[in-house]
């Protein structure tokens, strides 16, 4: 089963304070609605590039029927380019938030190439699974937004501390497994469809879902603090990072459940 690494490198509580002093050099200030608009733009770019990847693997016959290409390996160069490009954009944005109006859209396109290629490839082995994962991702997004707006989940200091500890623990587990793999070891439950493996993936999905609450609060804090306008793109980028993580973890969980049934 394919290993998919996870994390949100953009979620740092100090970035808005650092950017606040630059407001005088920016036209306007950050708003929640502006960030939502930017997030929709990024989501649209991601879906367009993902759909283009899907079109590379499928073709239409002369009779209007859809037939899959016999060489889906054509997707791999685009997938790797998207993976590397998205990572480079994310790393740069962590330190250069003012570049977000340019790099955030580039990140969305790059992630669309990677996720589109990954989903198309997995569709061959797990028909319908990527579509289910996408639907569940948007469903979780809507549910967490409702819970945040209704104050059912409050991003208190203890909540933030607990989430940071949980995500830090996940990073340690993934890094330790990566290092151990160089010596022929690793944590087998990360990819296995055993009850332990499924349970672990379920826990990670819950953590990823709760991370959306931190993103919502992150964006609202920026608006309240009068962060510069370009931080709308950065806030949207941070939300997209979490959504990509959530989608990949839901996809991983569904793959394990499918393997378990087989």
Query: Which ranges of the chain would DSSP assign to H, the alpha helix?
Result: 15-20, 32-57, 76-95, 100-125, 129-149, 157-181, 195-224, 231-261
The region of weakest confidence among 40-49, 64-73, 128-137 is 64-73
Q: Is 262 helix (H, G, I), strand (E, B) or coil?
A: coil
Tokens of 189: 């439950």
pLDDT in tens, 163-185: 999 989 988 988 888 888 777 77
- Answer whether 260's CB lies under 8 Å from 131's CB: no
Residue of 8 and 31 predicted with greater confidence? 31
% of the chain at pLDDT higher than 70? 84
% of the chain at pLDDT higher than 90? 59
Rg over alpha carbons for the chain, rounded to the nearest Å, is: 19
Neighbours of 135 (CB within 10 A): 11
pTM: predicted TM-score of the whole model, two decimal places: 0.86
- Answer whether 58's CB lies under 8 Å from 67's CB: yes
Which residues make Cβ contacts (< 8 Å) with residue 11, sequence separation at least 6? 211, 214, 215, 218, 238, 241, 242
Tokens of 175: 């890094």
Q: Which of 16-25, 44-53, 151-160, 179-188 tops mean pLDDT?
A: 44-53
């Amino acid at each position: 089963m394919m290993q998919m690494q996870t994390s949100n490198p953009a979620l740092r509580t100090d970035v808005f304070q650092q950017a606040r002093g630059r407001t005088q050099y920016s036209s306007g200030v950050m708003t929640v609605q502006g960030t939502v608009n930017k997030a929709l733009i990024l989501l649209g770019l991601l879906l367009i590039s993902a759909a283009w990847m899907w079109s590379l693997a499928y073709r239409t016959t002369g009779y209007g029927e859809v037939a899959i290409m016999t060489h889906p390996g054509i997707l791999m160069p685009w997938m790797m380019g998207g993976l590397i490009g998205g990572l480079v954009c994310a790393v740069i944005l962590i330190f250069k938030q003012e570049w977000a109006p340019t790099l955030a859209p580039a990140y969305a396109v790059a992630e669309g190439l990677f996720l589109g290629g990954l989903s198309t490839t997995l569709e061959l082995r797990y028909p319908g699974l990527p579509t289910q994962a996408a639907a569940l991702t948007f469903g979780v997004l809507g549910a967490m937004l409702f819970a945040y707006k209704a104050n059912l989940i409050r991003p208190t200091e203890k909540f933030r501390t607990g989430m940071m500890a949980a995500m830090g623990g996940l990073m340690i587990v993934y890094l330790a497994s990566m290092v151990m793999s160089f010596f022929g070891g690793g944590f087998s439950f990360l990819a296995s469809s055993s009850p332990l493996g499924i349970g672990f993936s379920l826990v990670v999905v819950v953590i990823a879902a709760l991370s959306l609450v931190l993103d919502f609060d992150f964006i609202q804090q920026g608006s309240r603090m009068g962060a510069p306008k370009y931080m709308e793109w950065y806030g949207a980028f941070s939300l997209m990072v979490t959504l990509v993580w959530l989608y990949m973890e839901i996809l991983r969980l569904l793959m394990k459940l499918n393997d378990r049934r087989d």
